[in-house]
Amino acid sequence: MTPWQRENFLALAEAFAHCGSSSYQQSFLREILDAAEEGLPTGVHTLDTALRRLFGTWSAVELRYQLRALFGDEQNFDNAESEILALAYFAELGRLRAVGWPNHYRGGAPPPFDGLALIHNIELPFDVKSASGSASQLLRDALTPIAERWAAGRWRVAIEMRTGTITRVSIGRHKRALEGEFRRRLDAYETLPAENIDLTAGRTPILVTVRPYGVVISKRANSPADHSASVEETLRTHVEEKAQRAAENNACGFFLVYVRPPLCGTVDLRQTSFLEAANHLAQSCESMACHQMWLASVMLDWTSGDWTPVEQPRIHIVCNPRAAWPSPLSEANFGVSLTSNSELLA
């Protein structure tokens, strides 16, 4: 880190001192800090503030998984940023009981839940998911080399994509099939395709345009309804996975947290699609094992409508009406507890 970065981002400098400099030069965080030093908007001030709040109570050792991920590639950074923002938010409310749950999980591996909340004296594990949108870039990075190899020696090309919501889970599940289908479809053309190449990842439609490099083709974004339909499968995967982990560790319930960090750009989960998908999942979750352990899904949104960072996130909560709420918790007081610290003052 440069002297300017150390002076302006004290918590990140402390994280740097804990993790060491071995991987810093190759980290995505370095690119963000360099951009901030050049005066570009990055949202890193919000991250530093959140991390400073956590360092007031938790040690670098307790935050080791988040700190190590901070100095990784873009995906690791996205995950770490989301977890730090969410943990700091609950800590500010006085709800954060522990970082990671359960402690000492399976020989030092990262625990299955990112935190433990204390609400009305009930301990609830929660897990944090990034909604930053980098999965779309992962897909673009996978398909672009295929187009470039197909056009080699004839044209210099780029691709544009119009999609529904693409998540990392979906990319991991369908990446190889998407690459093979895109390659097969391109090989059928002897000139630049005049039409879109239609692909599908699960239920998510993907329209790929191969164009001459430097030519921009404007595309209208998909509707919120398209996003909500394509994201429900991913939300279901998260609930199923964490319900199993919660049952294995004798939890009385759990909740999921989706984070939109400042300046996140094109997002995997939008407010409307999140609410629609989560509500629909809550109405149809009986087929999932241990579905009653899933209490709610929460979105913390640090991005305002004009894409500028906000100090306090907007919060959206979808409760599972079929959940087995541990007394005295209920849908009503759960929502109030995640937006205020009133019970601590009672």
Q: Would you say how long the chain is, in residues?
A: 346
Look at residue 88 and tell me if it is in a domain.
Answer: no
For residues 260 and 269, the answer to whether their CB atoms sit within 8 Å is yes
Rounded Cα gap, residues 207 and 198, in angstroms: 5
Which residue reads 């990842």 in tokens?
Answer: 201
Phi and psi at 262, nearest 5°, equal -60, 140
State pLDDT tens for residues 218-256: 444 455 555 566 678 788 889 999 999 999 999 999 999
Half-sphere exposure of 328 (CA within 13 A, CB side): 6
Rounded Cα gap, residues 185 and 167, in angstroms: 23
Look at residue 40 and tell me if it is in a domain.
Answer: yes
Per-residue pLDDT 10s for the chain (346 aa) are 899 999 999 999 999 988 877 777 778 888 889 888 888 777 889 999 999 999 999 999 999 999 999 998 877 888 899 999 999 999 999 999 999 999 776 656 789 999 999 999 999 999 999 887 656 667 788 899 999 999 998 989 988 887 665 655 566 678 889 999 999 999 999 999 988 899 887 767 788 889 887 665 544 445 555 556 667 878 888 999 999 999 999 999 999 999 988 766 555 567 777 888 888 889 888 877 788 899 999 999 887 654 445 567 889 999 999 899 999 999 989 988 998 765 654 3
pLDDT at 203: 67
* Number of domains composing the chain: 2
Which are the contacts of 319, defined by CB distance < 8 A and separation ≥ 6? 282, 295, 296, 331, 334, 335
Rounded Cα gap, residues 192 and 284, in angstroms: 44
Per residue, what are the HEC states of the chain?
CCHHHHHHCHHHHHHHHHHCCCCHHHCHHHHHHHHHHCCCCCCHHHHHHHHHHHHCCCCCCCCHHHHHHHCCCHHHHHHHHHHHHHHHHHHHCCCEEEEEECCCCCCCCCCCEEEEEEECCEEEEEEEEECCCHHHHHHHHHHHHHHHHHHCCCCCEEEEEEECCCCHHHHHHHHHHHHHHHHHHHHCCCCCCCCCEEEEECCEEEEEEEEECCCCCCCCCCCHHHHHHHHHHHHHHHHHHHHHHHHHCCCCCEEEEEEECCCCCCCCCCHHHHHHHHHHHHHCCCCCCCHHHEEEEEEEEEECCCCCEEEEEEEEEEECCCCCCCCCCCHHHHHHHCCCCHHHHC
Look at residue 244 and tell me if it is in a domain.
Answer: no
Strand partners, 197: 208
Q: Which domain holds residue 171?
A: 134-212
Roughly how many angstroms between the first and final C-alpha of the chain, as a whole number?
45
pLDDT at 241: 92
pLDDT at 226: 53
Look at residue 194 and tell me if it is in a domain.
Answer: yes
pLDDT at 218: 47
Which residue reads 């690791």 in tokens?
Answer: 76
Last residue within a domain, chosen from 212, 242, 265: 212
The strands making up 254-260's β-sheet, listed across from edge to edge, are: 96-101, 113-119, 122-130, 254-260, 294-303, 309-319
Look at residue 204 and tell me if it is in a domain.
Answer: yes
Largest CA distance in the chain: 73
Structure token pair of residue 192: 């630049």
Look at residue 305 and tell me if it is in a domain.
Answer: no
Which residue reads 């003052």 in tokens?
Answer: 345
Look at residue 272 and tell me if it is in a domain.
Answer: no
Look at residue 38 and tell me if it is in a domain.
Answer: yes
pLDDT at 134: 57
Number of neighbours of residue 269 by Cβ within 10 angstroms: 28
Structure token pair of residue 224: 């919120």
